[in-house]
Amino acid sequence: MAYAGDLTPREAFELVRDDPDAVLVDVRTDAEWRFVGTPTGLGTEPVFASWLPVDPERFLTELSAAGIAPGSGRKVVFLCRSGQRSVAAAETATAAGITPSYNVLEGFEGPLDADGHRGAVGWRAAGLPWRQS
């Protein structure tokens, strides 16, 4: 594993809520933020920095602009829709010296189920706070 580790949605929520220096970075797209929903109740607003289109340099620049810098030791938790893009984000951040970086397993909505639906697992299914625009 090329990052600090994986957290369940509840573990991620509790880590960010309880550690004032920790930050949740939502790496989904603008459409996902606006139409699907965003995490709340963390004590601080998430950082919104889309992983797509894949451009690690742009992504790291957005993190830096949000105060997430290499060598700070600040815990950074990456969240996407299903826990895939957030792995790439955590790996990229770790390689750039942003440590510790974590991935949220199952993401905000979870992977597709046998019927092609999302939502059985993930942040929302865990009953964690969120809102829709």
What's the whole-number mean pLDDT along residues 58-74?
96
CB contact at 8 A, 85 and 109: no
Longest Cα separation, the chain: 44
pLDDT of residue 133: 82
At the topology level, CATH places domain 5-131 in: Oxidized Rhodanese; domain 1 (3.40.250)
Beta strands in 5-129 (DSSP E): 5-7, 23-26, 38-39, 47-48, 76-79, 101-104
Domain boundaries, the chain: 5-131
pTM (2 decimals)? 0.96
Reported as a single tens digit per residue, the pLDDT across 74-116 is 999 999 999 999 999 999 999 999 999 999 999 999 999 999 9
